[in-house]
Structure 1
Amino acid sequence: MTADTEKRLTEIVQRLPAEQAAALLEFAEFLLVRHGGSGIGAVSVSGIKVAEITAPLDIPRPAEESVVKAVKRLRATYPMLDARKLLNDTSALMTQHVMQGRDKNEVIEELEVLFRTNYEKLVGNDKD
């Protein structure tokens, strides 16, 4: 990031109300995850190769969770899914939350359905 970009981003954050600044940070974290900034695409989860995982991992949803953390949890829960194939739908839901103010719980519920549906298609259990 250039110094000018960093300076401008800092100015924007400082001028935003706290809630919008938090939403901007959440969106920035989402972009970081989307572009591989947190190790997405690793070949193992807890020492198990992703190709060996046939069932979703049991990672419970916490009582309080941001949309970004929900995406991270769902990617960890369904490591056998190709995150790139989910990118458009995941991005659309994230945008609805951050830019349009859609309730985070609704978005997380829809993300869970999205991941589960894609898993069912992968293993051939979809009802289509």
Structure 2
Amino acid sequence: MPDNIEKRLAEIVNRLPATQAAALLEFAEFLLIRHGSTGAEAVPNVTTAEIPAPLDIPRPAEESVVKAVKRLRATYPMLDARKLLNETSAIMTQHVIHGRDKIEVIEELEILFRAHYEKLTGNNKD
């Protein structure tokens, strides 16, 4: 890791409250598990229990579909946005092009993100 990244991460961790610093560490460990090398230095004995829980970001009373996607991406930072892109785009197109109600679209997006999270953790009911 370049020294400037390591230094900046250390600065951030030192300035965060303990709870947020622990959350940052959990997320960093998750990224290592997901994107780290597959060689000898890979993290051994990885379990789905190590995947962080979704963040508790409440849905506002008034929200656009675009803002809902941003909220859901923030709620589920452990999900690979690239894997959700096609499905998310298709659902958004139903709203923008075909005039589908935004509440229905947002609810479907919430189900989509939750389903991807459950698949990642192995808790899907399929």
TM-score (norm 1): 0.61
Matches for 1:81-96 after TM superposition, within 5 Å: 81-96=79-94
- Provide the aligned C-alpha RMSD in A: 1.6
- State the partner residue of 1:125: 123
2:55 alignment partner in structure 1: 57
Aligned equivalents of 2:83 and 2:64: distance in 1?
A: 22
For structure 2, list consecutive stretches of 5 or more residues without a partner in the other structure: 1-19, 32-50
1:103 correspondence with 2:101: yes
Secondary structure of the residue aligned to 1:107 is: helix
Q: Please give the per-residue CA displacement for 1:70-96, whole angstroms capped at 9, x wherever unaligned.
A: 000000000000000000000001100
For 1:71-86, list aligned pairs within 5 A.
Answer: 71-86=69-84
Deviations 1:12-39 (A, max 9, x none): xxxxxxxxxxxxxxxxxxxxxxxxxxxx
Q: Which has the larger radius of gyration?
A: 2
Letter in 1 for 2:64: S
CA shift, 1:110, in A, is: 0.1
Q: Where does the alignment leave 5 or more consecutive residues of structure 1 unmatched?
A: 1-45
Q: TM-score, normalised by structure 2?
A: 0.62
